[in-house]
Structure 1
Amino acid sequence: MADPTKLRLDGLGVEVDGQALVHGLSLTASPGRITGLVGPNGSGKSTALRCVYRALKPTTGTVWLDDRELSALSRRESARSVAALTQESGSDLDFTVEEVVALGRTPHLRGNQALSDRERELCRRAMAELDVLHLAGRGVLTLSGGERQRVLAARALVQEPTVLVLDEPTNHLDIRHQIELLTLLRRTGTTVLVVLHDLNLAAAVCDRIGVLAGGTLVTAGAPREVLTPELVREVFGVAATVVPHPLTGDPQLLYSLGGPP
């Protein structure tokens, strides 16, 4: 895998049908670190990610990969650098699992070029790490939601990106596979930008967290600096007690079902 790349969102703004979904977003995801985006529904998290994997063009601002402007790269060049696991990654075509995973190599191939021995081993290893190797010959349409999510994660890893963006990657996954996937993200050593709804998962896995509300960055920093009772009340509208995890010391949130005080 190539050296990880610094990802920088510089004054990012997205406007759709006259409505500002994201405005003035500046955030850096550092090489070898996991940067999380959290916030209420509709706060602009997924919209920001779509600008990074070029599903959306920002209205204002710039996405930088090190000193390269993302929009100046060809689609093939950017696909070699940025891989995405999105919430819209489904397929209506019943490819086998091994065929879907192999699609991750597409940006690196020309025409109908066959996979090399190294690339086939890369696919095999990714399937093993995501616990889908035993499903290699199965059609993806026969899989459960969690199995399919792990297949798509394997495809993203096979792409060998320098930047990996993930939108709710733990959706549909049981707790074992959530932990395994997030641990694997740490081991890749690449630059990771991930959207998570679960604040406790974000606190456990992320080196840095950006909190969005109304399309604006409220704050960014280490989990223990950001995830305070005051911020959770202000941004999410719920009361929470923050306690240190007994093993790791990471902040863990205990919510009051009674709502905000």
Structure 2
Amino acid sequence: MELSFDEVTVAVNGRNLVESLSLRVGSGEVVGLVGPNGSGKSTALRCVYRALTPSGGAVRVDRLALTSLTPRESARAVAALTQDGTVDLDFTVEEVVALGRAPHLRGNQALSGRERALVARAMHRLDVAHLARRGVLTLSGGERQRVLVARALVQEPKILVLDEPTNHLDVRHQIELLALLRGAGLTVLVVLHDLNLAAAACDRLGVLAHGRLVATGSPGEVLTAGLVREVFGVEATVVPHPLTGGPQLLYTLPAPPMN
């Protein structure tokens, strides 16, 4: 399933947080959104999981405007891990992951054997199966993040959007999560702040600044020293990864001010 932004603009209190964004995420492709704080990345994602409605333009799935789908149809097509995803009630991990089946159930319908197997598999893939009986409020931030990703996978979406999914994760789980996204066969749009992780995990990158798309292309095409300087305001040397050949950024700290 293809996801696309068609001249999407989001205005709040007379200010455009996103302006005329056009971006395509092909079926099965992993596309990363990168940019400084306040550049419109999370705002763009909120339009995909319908927390916001564009002021202009449209978000489309397979060329259909997302707003033409019912909420249930949207939830079956798109799963989201939001930046502020929380669980306020102390459900067990297994119960939280099982909530991903809600768009597919009617009322208090019980999970089928297949659905219970989906829950177990997602917990195993995210390394939280050993926490199944734990209350989710007793978990660390990283553990809870992995539980929420498992819940999204159990939803069986065609499109997965994630806002800073590596937050709170240790290095091992960051790498495992991004490898999982690459191998899931889903259409993925992910916001990442770590440009080196974005270069390793994504087929293409879209760079936002001040609400506008300023560059798009493969990581090698986009992540240049000039763009990093212009958009992020830092100096970086771009070198090829010794194993993959992909771009890796080595940052230069500014000299301390003279007394």
TM-score class, shorter-chain normalisation, is: over 0.9
- Give the corresponding residue for 2:229: 233
State the shift of 1:67 in Å.
2.2
- Give the corresponding residue for 1:87: 83
Alpha-carbon distance between aligned partners in 2 of 1:46 and 1:165, rounded to the nearest angstrom: 10
- Give the corresponding residue for 1:64: 60
Alignment of 1:136-155 (within 5 A): 136-155=132-151
State the shift of 1:33 in Å.
1.1
Alignment of 1:15-164 (within 5 A): 15-164=11-160
Alpha-carbon distance between aligned partners in 2 of 1:146 and 1:190, rounded to the nearest angstrom: 23
SS in 2 for 1:15: strand
TM normalised by structure 2 equals 0.98
Alpha-carbon distance between aligned partners in 1 of 2:190 and 2:148, rounded to the nearest angstrom: 15
Alpha-carbon distance between aligned partners in 2 of 1:138 and 1:47, rounded to the nearest angstrom: 33
The runs of at least 4 consecutive aligned structure 1 residues that moved more than 2 Å come to none
**Letter of the aligned partner of 1:50 in structure 2?**
R
- Give the corresponding residue for 2:196: 200
State the shift of 1:92 in Å.
1.4
1:196-239 Cα deviation digits (max 9, x unpaired): 00000000000000000000000100000000000000000011
**Letter of the aligned partner of 1:191 in structure 2?**
T
TM normalised by structure 1 equals 0.97
- Give the corresponding residue for 1:190: 186
RMSD: 0.7
1:58-90 Cα deviation digits (max 9, x unpaired): 100100000211001000000000000011110
Alpha-carbon distance between aligned partners in 1 of 2:102 and 2:114, rounded to the nearest angstrom: 14
SS in 1 for 2:239: strand
Alpha-carbon distance between aligned partners in 2 of 1:119 and 1:186, rounded to the nearest angstrom: 23
Alpha-carbon distance between aligned partners in 2 of 1:107 and 1:61, rounded to the nearest angstrom: 27
Alpha-carbon distance between aligned partners in 2 of 1:224 and 1:218, rounded to the nearest angstrom: 15
- Give the corresponding residue for 1:217: 213
Alpha-carbon distance between aligned partners in 2 of 1:46 and 1:109, rounded to the nearest angstrom: 29
**Letter of the aligned partner of 1:130 in structure 2?**
L
State the shift of 1:152 in Å.
0.1
User: Identity across aligned pairs (percent)?
Assistant: 73
Alpha-carbon distance between aligned partners in 2 of 1:94 and 1:81, rounded to the nearest angstrom: 28
Alpha-carbon distance between aligned partners in 2 of 1:242 and 1:187, rounded to the nearest angstrom: 26
**Letter of the aligned partner of 1:253 in structure 2?**
L
Alpha-carbon distance between aligned partners in 2 of 1:58 and 1:238, rounded to the nearest angstrom: 32
SS in 2 for 1:118: helix
Alpha-carbon distance between aligned partners in 1 of 2:43 and 2:35, rounded to the nearest angstrom: 12
Alpha-carbon distance between aligned partners in 2 of 1:210 and 1:239, rounded to the nearest angstrom: 20
SS in 2 for 1:182: helix
Question: What is the aligned residue count?
Answer: 255
Alpha-carbon distance between aligned partners in 1 of 2:123 and 2:242, rounded to the nearest angstrom: 33
Q: Which runs of 5+ in 1 are unaligned?
A: none
1:12-52 Cα deviation digits (max 9, x unpaired): 10011111100000000111110000000000000000000
State the shift of 1:257 in Å.
0.1
